[in-house]
């Protein structure tokens, strides 16, 4: 039986018989084109090898930084810078607050240092001097050891990945420095209640009657007594307001008031009665609200401060640390009066507020009925910290109350 053979043509030239078969592409090629086909495959293999080598190289070689990496690096550096600035600012502010009591006491300590050195060299001192120096040093120690009312506040932006910090002086009322106006009476609730509750009338000179836990001072003498009263607090740092009300006063004379609850003069003008508050002020801002409940027809009210180490004497109003006002246009700076010819403003039943700004070293008196405010800068060389408030009562039965 004869065999029938199927001849295949070359896949390239389509001529002649194919002599070789490619099982990859399943085509037949003549001898010439089979060799060319194999050459093509060899070139493709070479190209694949080159691509492989490039990929292998790229896998082991560091590529250029991605643009997003650049953005991340930039964000990181900016964030670090912001944090460093916030941290440095917080450290600086905190250190200033921590050093403030020391700085405020420096003048007072220097003064007692000179006294001690002089007394030792001259061998001129008694038990009374030693007790006075001991009391002063104990008071300085209390101020230095008292905790500084500061805290760390965090940024309130909840979207921030890192909450920045800042130092918050809890006794400083920043809003007071953004406006020259004193807060209205309705705004008192925004201030710390401790500012008002801590102040009382305490140290007195002359004929003064204290009542209602030291919130009311009444003069029991007359003008010659020079009755006066001081508060209990001592002021060195911050701003402090004391609100007074004149409940009774004479028409020709003034009384001098400061933080307590009620002080009444039991003498007269010749007694020079005075009363001081219980607090001592070295830091922060403080407000003391007074009401003049009684004043005679010849005397008026005087509000101010003295150095807390001052002793109450007949001539206290001549002291270099004696600062304040008989009236809005009648001031006393370092024991020296400065009066302008103008109608008297403060009357019986009036409310006044005494502000002690230990931060800016100034005091301020606000008269609520007329909405007038007067301000006085304090030279701490003349009136060193800590301060205490003092009220001078000259008319018999003159009475001043500290409002809460």
Does 86 fall in a domain? Answer: no
Instruction: Give pLDDT, residue 220.
Output: 73
Instruction: Give pLDDT, residue 253.
Output: 39
Extract the tokens encoding 144.
């230095």
**What tens digit of pLDDT does each residue of 183-195 get?**
332 332 223 333 3
Distance CA 228, CA 7 (A): 138
Does 175 fall in a domain? Answer: no
CATH number at residue 325: 2.60.120.920
Around 100, how many Cα atoms within 13 Å sit in the side-chain half-sphere?
A: 28
Residues 254, 161 share a domain = no
For 146-281, where are the alpha helices, taking DSSP H only?
194-197
Burial class for 150, CB neighbours closer than 10 Å (0-12, 13-18, 19+): middle
- Span 289-296, mean pLDDT? 84
Instruction: Give pLDDT, residue 195.
Output: 38
Does 67 fall in a domain? Answer: no
Residues 300, 240 share a domain = yes
Instruction: Give pLDDT, residue 165.
Output: 64
Residues 329, 207 share a domain = yes
Question: Where on the phi/psi map is residue 371: left (φ > 0), alpha (ψ -120 to 50), or beta?
Answer: left
Residues linked to residue 253 through DSSP beta bridges, in sequence order? 299
- Span 307-315, mean pLDDT? 83
Instruction: Give pLDDT, residue 191.
Output: 32
Residues 237, 377 share a domain = yes
The C-alpha angle 189, 191, 194, rounded to 5 degrees, equals: 100
Does 81 fall in a domain? Answer: no
Nearest-CA neighbor of 400 among 350, 331, 344, 335? 350
Give the confidence band of 267 by pLDDT, cuts at 50, 70, 90: low
Distance CA 307, CA 235 (A): 9
Domain boundary among 138, 169, 200: 169
Residues 267, 137 share a domain = no
Residues 243, 109 share a domain = no
* Residue 252 CB neighbour total at 10 angstroms: 15
Nearest-CA neighbor of 354 among 174, 182, 209, 236? 182
Residues 203, 161 share a domain = no
Strands 215-220 and 261-266: parallel
Residues 235, 299 share a domain = yes
Q: What residue numbers bound the domain in which 153 lies?
A: 104-169
Nearest-CA neighbor of 295 among 244, 249, 254, 347? 249
- Asked if pLDDT for residue 157 goes beyond 60, the answer is yes
E strand residue ranges, 211-322 = 215-220, 223-248, 253-257, 261-266, 269-294, 299-307
**What tens digit of pLDDT does each residue of 84-111 get?**
998 898 898 888 888 887 887 888 888 8
Instruction: Give pLDDT, residue 368.
Output: 92
Of residues 146 and 256, more confidence is placed in 146
Residues linked to residue 220 through DSSP beta bridges, in sequence order? 266
Is the pTM higher than 0.75? The answer reads no
Does 84 fall in a domain? Answer: no
Residues 327, 193 share a domain = yes
Residues 148, 246 share a domain = no
Helix and strand numbers, DSSP H then E, in the chain: 4, 20
Instruction: Give pLDDT, residue 193.
Output: 33
Percent of the chain scoring above 90 in pLDDT: 17
**What tens digit of pLDDT does each residue of 27-42 get?**
888 888 888 899 999 9
Extract the tokens encoding 87.
């941290």
How many structural domains comprise the chain? 3
Say which range, 58-72, 184-198, 292-306, 388-402, has the weakest mean pLDDT: 184-198
Does 64 fall in a domain? Answer: no
Instruction: Give pLDDT, residue 188.
Output: 27
Instruction: Give pLDDT, residue 176.
Output: 31
Instruction: Give pLDDT, residue 39.
Output: 92
Instruction: Give pLDDT, residue 163.
Output: 66
Residues 213, 164 share a domain = no
Does 57 fall in a domain? Answer: no
Residues 306, 190 share a domain = yes
């Amino acid at each position: 039986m004869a065999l029938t053979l199927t001849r295949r043509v070359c896949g390239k030239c389509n001529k002649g018989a194919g002599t070789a078969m490619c099982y990859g592409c399943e085509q037949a090629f003549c001898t010439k084109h089979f060799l060319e086909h194999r050459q093509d495959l060899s070139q493709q293999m070479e190209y694949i090898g080159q691509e492989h080598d490039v990929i292998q190289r790229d896998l082991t070689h560091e590529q250029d930084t991605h643009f997003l990496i650049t953005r991340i690096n930039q964000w990181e550096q900016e964030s670090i810078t912001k944090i460093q600035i916030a941290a440095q600012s917080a450290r600086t502010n905190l250190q200033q607050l921590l050093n403030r009591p020391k700085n405020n006491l420096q003048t007072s300590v220097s003064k007692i240092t000179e006294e001690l050195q002089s007394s030792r060299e001259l061998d001129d001192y008694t038990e009374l001097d030693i007790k006075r120096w001991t009391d002063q040093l104990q008071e300085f120690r209390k101020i230095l050891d008292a905790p500084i009312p500061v805290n760390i506040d965090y940024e309130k932006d909840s979207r921030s990945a890192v909450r920045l910090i800042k130092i918050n002086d809890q006794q400083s009322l920043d809003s007071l420095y953004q406006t020259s106006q004193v807060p209205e009476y309705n705004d008192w609730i925004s201030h710390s209640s401790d500012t008002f509750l801590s102040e009382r009338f305490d140290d007195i000179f002359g004929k003064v009657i204290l009542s209602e836990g030291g919130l009311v001072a009444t003069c029991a003498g007359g003008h010659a007594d020079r009755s006066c009263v001081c508060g209990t607090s001592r002021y060195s740092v911050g701003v402090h307001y004391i609100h007074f009300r004149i409940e009774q006063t004479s028409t020709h004379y003034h009384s001098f008031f400061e933080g307590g609850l009620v002080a009444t003069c039991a003498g007269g003008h010749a007694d020079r009665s005075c009363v001081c508050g219980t607090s001592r002020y070295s830091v922060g801002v403080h407000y003391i609200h007074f009401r003049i409940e009684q004043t005679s027809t010849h005397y008026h009210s005087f509000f101010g401060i003295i150095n807390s180490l001052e002793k109450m004497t007949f001539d206290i109003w001549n002291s270099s640390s004696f600062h304040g006002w008989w009236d809005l246009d009648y001031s006393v700076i370092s024991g020296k009066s400065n009066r302008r010819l103008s109608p008297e403003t403060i009357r019986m039943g009036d409310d006044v507020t005494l502000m002690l700004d230990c931060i800016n070293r100034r005091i301020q008196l606000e008269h609520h009925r007329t909405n007038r405010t007067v301000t006085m800068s304090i030279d701490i060389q003349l009136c060193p910290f800590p301060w205490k408030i003092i009220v001078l009562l000259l008319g018999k039965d003159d009475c001043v109350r500290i409002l809460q």
